Amino acid sequence: QVQLAESGGGVVQPGGSLRLSCVASGFNFSDSGMHWVRQAPGKGLEWMAFIRYDGRDKYYADSVKGRFTISRDNSKNTLFLQMNSLRSEDTAVFYCAKAEELLWFGESFDYWGQGTLVTVSS
Amino acid sequence: DIQLTQSPSFLSASVGDRVTIPCRASQGISSYLAWYQQKPGKAPNLLIYAASTLQNGVPSRFSGSGSGTEFTLTISGLQPEDSATYYCQQVHSYPFTFGPGTKVDIK
């Protein structure tokens, strides 16, 4: 079955960096676009970034553009999120999600990982 | 950017009730809308995509409708396990955005 497992979260000081990973299994990772979504404590969902199946297209939320970088290693079925210049407002649970392209009307996020908590605090 | 609004942010209903959860987009998005259910401490779970298509494995009491700017998630016959927060999401254009969520409580 499809599984997504995030790791790499932890406590980091403001201005610091962190790299999140998401290991995928149970589907053909190299055929699927992937997303990162975050959720601050007690808040709603916020879409962060997308990467196309081959890594050639990437999109970011304005709130992280220039600070976060999404990438992937299809040989290792792994998605990454490099986070630099972290701020307290980046504190959140970060989820990776698989994109399912639809014949009509875009795509859906059909599988999600369990999330990894990032805490930015001094 | 396309904004999604969900109101109310909280609703309480009884087991067996028919519950409707609205979602409004700031501009027309055709049927580029999905619905997710999230329970505390868990990842979101896809319920509906393309505004009205039920995801495999989701109970048939869940249904979605609407297009353009007005959308609705309906739960026909609320069950105790439906206590959760429900989010709409537009996938019409980047940045993809989620609504603020509607929390459904069981009376």
Give the pLDDT mean for B68-94: 97
In this predicted structure, what is the pLDDT of residue A78?
Answer: 98
In this predicted structure, what is the pLDDT of residue A69?
Answer: 98
pLDDT of A13 over the 90 cut: yes
- CB-CB: which of B91, B98, B100 is closest to A106? B91
The residues, any chain, with a CB within 8 Å of residue A10's CB and separated by 6 or more, are A18, A117, A118, A119
In this predicted structure, what is the pLDDT of residue B33?
Answer: 97
- A5 to chain B, any CB pair closer than 8 A? The answer is no
A68-88 confidence digits (pLDDT tens):
999 999 999 999 999 999 999
B10-69 confidence digits (pLDDT tens):
999 999 999 999 999 999 999 999 999 999 999 999 999 999 999 999 999 999 999 999
The interface residues of chain A toward chain B in range 55-74, judged by CB-CB distance below 8 A, are 59-62
E-strand stretches of chain A: 3-7, 10-12, 18-25, 34-39, 45-51, 58-60, 68-73, 78-83, 92-101, 107-112, 116-120
In this predicted structure, what is the pLDDT of residue A73?
Answer: 98
pLDDT of A106 over the 90 cut: no
In chain A, what residues touch B101 (CB-CB under 8 Å)?
44-45
In this predicted structure, what is the pLDDT of residue A102?
Answer: 86
Instruction: Inspect the interface and report whether the beta carbons of A113 and B43 lie closer than 8 Å.
Output: yes
Give the burial class of A1: count Cβ atoms within 10 A of its Cβ; 0-12 exposed, 13-18 middle, 19 or more buried.
exposed
Question: Is-contact B75 B81, C-beta < 8 A?
Answer: no
Lowest-confidence region among A48-57, A104-113, B19-28: A104-113
Question: Is-contact B89 B36, C-beta < 8 A?
Answer: yes
Alpha-carbon distance A97 to nearest alpha carbon in chain B (angstroms): 10
| Residues paired with residue A78 on neighbouring β-strands, in sequence order | A23, A73
- CB-CB: which of A62, A95, A108 is closest to B43? A95
In this predicted structure, what is the pLDDT of residue A35?
Answer: 98
Here the tokens at position B79 are 């069950």
In chain A, what residues touch B95 (CB-CB under 8 Å)?
47, 59-62
pLDDT of A105 over the 90 cut: no
- CB-CB: which of B31, B38, B89 is closest to A105? B31
CA separation for the pair A53, A34 (Å, rounded) = 7
pLDDT of A104 over the 90 cut: no
In this predicted structure, what is the pLDDT of residue A108?
Answer: 93
3-state SS record for B57-73: CCCCCEEEEEECCEEEE
Question: Is-contact B3 B98, C-beta < 8 A?
Answer: no
- CB-CB: which of B87, B92, B100 is closest to A106? B92
